[in-house]
Amino acid sequence: MTETLDTAPLLPWLQPHWAWLQQSRAVGRIPPALLIQGPHGLGKTGLARRWAQALLCRADTTVSPCGSCPACRLFAADTHPDYTRVEPAEAGKAIGIESIRQLIHKLSLKPQYGGYRVVVIEPAHELNINAANALLKTLEEPSPKTLMVLISSAPHQLPITLLSRCQKLPILRPDRDTALAWLASQSLKQEPTVLLDMARGSPLTALALDGTDQLARRDQTIQGLLAVRAGDKDPLQLASQWEKDFSATTLEWIMAWINQLVRLKQGLGHTDTGLATDIPGGSAALQSLSITDLFACWDLLLNTRNRMAHNLNITLLLEELLIRWSQTGRSHNR
């Protein structure tokens, strides 16, 4: 991905993080190993790139990368020799020992420009155990002016030995007003509040969802559930409709919706973690289900998710899920 950082403004919710990084530089305490951690869709990758570019930039500034010096131009073209990005060969695969061996070899040579060398490893939790151990040795004996930036949305999956070597820079979801103000400047085709809910409060995810059919598909999924509750649709019929396209994402939508219903039932109101309440019929579902029913549904969904991960027969799973969904709360009065 090529970026021209001189024209891309810093995302507003990352300003404190950026200020912290600049401060570390101003006082001469740049962390040799930095872990940028936080949920997807908040701009961790962009922040790491901006930081790397600022460190490599040859202009006489410590504020932001200039975007026009030779180093910035090489960086923008992804050809800066002192910048290395380590990632899985294929998305979703592990980062193996060979990638780290290559990195160690590269770092054993002199930097080309005599300044900093920056290594970004993303997603760091995809390092396999051998790769993590090899990297640990490098972190324990850091070469001067070599800076490691690890990025992870699942830092708990990193070995504790590695974690303890890193200065952490946690990024939290921005508050709703900040996120919506930023989305308002992005000329969205769809309703920002609904997209943000669907993105669980992550603005960049909301932006990526805009203009896709994800929202319509999410609503269709919930409509199907409501139709089963209302007795307008047979659970087995819905299971056979769903089986072809049902994915972990579909299950996430349902879980987020149930989560939202739980919050509303408890009088907690709206939350960034749930879905919008604008789905027709949602309030009927809310009335027909007690809090106990909703928790039972939640357990059912968790169980379905675990079993999906083990590639069990999806048709059977969906049939069981939808039959139990149609029956939940039917045996007692409220």
Residues that bind Zn ion (CB under 5 A): 57, 59, 65-66, 69, 72
Which CB, 66 or 323, lies closer to Zn ion? 66
- The answer to whether residues 220 and 249 touch, using CB atoms and an 8 Å cutoff, is no
Distance of CA 29 to the CA centre of its chain: 29
- The answer to whether residues 169 and 34 touch, using CB atoms and an 8 Å cutoff, is yes
Please give the DSSP secondary-structure letter assigned to residue 127: B
Q: How far is the CB of 130 from Zn ion (least distance, A)?
A: 37
Which CB, 66 or 180, lies closer to Zn ion? 66
Which CB, 57 or 158, lies closer to Zn ion? 57
Written as one letter, the residue type at 267 is G
Question: 289-325 burial, b if ≥16 CB within 10 A, otherwise e?
Answer: beeebbebbeebbeebeebbeeeeebeebbbbbbeeb
Q: How far is the CB of 93 from Zn ion (least distance, A)?
A: 34
Which CB, 50 or 233, lies closer to Zn ion? 50
Which CB, 33 or 57, lies closer to Zn ion? 57
Which CB, 56 or 209, lies closer to Zn ion? 56
Q: How far is the CB of 128 from Zn ion (least distance, A)?
A: 35
Q: How far is the CB of 113 from Zn ion (least distance, A)?
A: 12
Task: Assign 119 to helix, strand or coil.
Answer: strand
Q: How far is the CB of 219 from Zn ion (least distance, A)?
A: 46
Find, among 73, 103, 109, the residue nearest to 87 by Cα. Answer: 103
- The answer to whether residues 206 and 195 touch, using CB atoms and an 8 Å cutoff, is yes
Written as one letter, the residue type at 248 is A
Q: How far is the CB of 29 from Zn ion (least distance, A)?
A: 22
Which CB, 72 or 120, lies closer to Zn ion? 72
Task: For residue 67, give every residue at least 6 positions away whose Cβ sits within 8 Å of its Cβ, in sequence order, or none.
Answer: 4, 5, 6, 7, 76
- Helical H segments across the chain, by residue range: 15-26, 44-56, 70-76, 97-108, 129-140, 160-163, 176-184, 192-198, 203-209, 214-229, 235-242, 248-265, 282-288, 291-309, 314-327
- Spatial distance between the Cα atoms of 78 and 105, rounded to a whole number of angstroms: 20
Q: How far is the CB of 80 from Zn ion (least distance, A)?
A: 10
